[in-house]
Amino acid sequence: MLCETLSRLEADEYPGGLWYYEPHTYQPYRYVLGRVGRRPLVCIGINPSTAQPGALDPTLKSVERLANANGFDSWIMFNVYPQRATNPNDMDKTPDRALCDENLRWLQAVLAQTEPTMWAAWGTLIEKRDYLPGLMREMVALTREKNIPWVTFGPRSKKGHPHHPLYLRKDSAPEPFDVENYLNTCFE
């Protein structure tokens, strides 16, 4: 299945150029959305919104702006849970394991074809569902295999959660982030 996913990870032409967008049509879930490049800033949020190629929401406009301002050649958005919900309170109470597994396959495919920097950007939303920290650990395990660096932008919350992209200053710069220590400290 991973080989099939890797072969399907191709850029397609959408408004504004070449994009990664899966699935290619609007669905109640989204695995990946982003611009094609070799050295992307890979942003990890909690759950996708209605954004799609050529129609970015304010959060993704912020992701794009910060990637460009900090020397990345592209940006890619993933989420801990792929269900689209404009309100995180509407996320599934119990995770759909098939969606989670497919989400991990797409992340692994992107990691195999790029030289990414991972951006922890979920804010306090990671507290919305009990299953989110466990899913985050699965994503982190994929990056650990390849020694991929993690960063955050902006101040962290009182509990140590990384800042959400929507509320960052235009001149924000990435700072190293020990994501495994964060998960072990905040969610034991």
pLDDT digits (tens, 9 = 90+) for 130-184: 999 999 999 999 999 899 999 999 999 999 999 999 989 989 999 999 999 999 9
pLDDT, tens digit, for every residue of 91-115? 999 999 999 999 999 999 999 999 9
Q: What mean pLDDT is predicted for residues 36-53? A: 94
Pairing of strands 12-14, 117-120: unpaired
Residue 15, pLDDT score: 65
Which has the higher per-residue pLDDT, 17 or 66?
66
* pTM as predicted: 0.92
Higher pLDDT among residues 63 and 4, named by residue: 63
What integer best gives the mean pLDDT of the chain? 91
Tell me if the bond preceding 165 is cis, omega within 30° of 0: no
Phi, then psi, of 44 in degrees rounded to 5: -110, 115
Question: Average pLDDT for residues 2-26, to the nearest whole number?
Answer: 69
Residue 25's pLDDT band (boundaries 50, 70, 90)? confident
Percent of the chain exceeding pLDDT 70 equals 93
* DSSP string over 24-57: SS--SB-SEEEE--SSEEEEEESS--S-BTTB--
pLDDT > 80? residue 5: no
Tell me which of 7-21, 25-39, 84-98 is least confident. Answer: 7-21
What pLDDT, on the 0 to 100 scale, is given for residue 1? 41
